[in-house]
Amino acid sequence: MVKVKRDMRRAAIQRRDATPPHEIRRRSAAAGSLLFDLPEVARARLVMFFVSFGSEIDTLPMIREALAGGKRVAVPRVDPETRSLIPCEITDPDGDLAPGAYGIREPVSRCPQVELSEIDAVVVPAVIWGEGGHRVGYGGGYYDRFLSRLGDARRIGLGMETQVVPRVPHGPHDLAVDVLVTDAAVRRPSRTGR
């Protein structure tokens, strides 16, 4: 399964990297509209977003929209020693984010950590999404470990429709998301097979 995921990941990143920036912006705006229409997001007081990098779907406009709408926003800080994600609250993406582990923007040290119990919804990244809500990430297991500790927060997958395949390999420790949002669709995977 590791080799299959690695090969899928490599091919998917190459395809995604070939997507023109204007197309990523268009797809990101469409996905953002669908995301904010979700009841899970509408009623959330605190939403945790990932901060996009490279050719990923652009989450910064979504983070700004959530803040402008009065929501509290957390984003992850990576702890390389424990290989874990630490959710920290931000109020100004321009001033609160700086390159961190792996060159991905993350909260600066003054941003307070939030308790997992405060998070109402977490927006989850992937390299590839299966229609059933399972994901292939970058291979570090950060989100798998984080999601396993999350509790009742709604897990919302976010990506471009071009990242969705019928099925991805997954094991018993791989948690599916509750909702998968792309620029073209909202999927609510069945809870069976989790």
- Over range 98-104, report the average pLDDT: 89
Confidence of residue 189 (pLDDT cuts 50, 70, 90): confident
DSSP 70: T
* CATH code assigned to 2-187: 3.40.50.10420
Q: List all residues 6 or more positions away from 73 whose beta carbon is below 8 Å from its beta carbon.
A: 46, 47, 48, 49, 63, 66, 67, 89, 90, 91
Q: How far apart are CA 28 and CA 56, in angstroms?
A: 9
Contact (Cβ atoms closer than 8 angstroms) between residue 118 and residue 83: no
Q: How is the chain split into domains, by residue range? A: 2-187
Q: What is the pLDDT of residues 140-177, one digit of tens each?
A: 889 989 999 998 999 999 999 999 999 998 887 778 99
Comparing 113 with 2, the larger pLDDT belongs to 113
Q: What is the pLDDT of residues 48-98, one digit of tens each?
A: 999 999 999 999 999 999 999 999 999 999 998 888 999 999 999 999 999
4: its two tokens: 């299959």
Asked whether the predicted pLDDT for residue 101 surpasses 90, the reply is: no
Confidence of residue 46 (pLDDT cuts 50, 70, 90): very high
pLDDT of residue 191: 56
Indicate the pTM of the whole model: 0.93
pLDDT of residue 122: 98
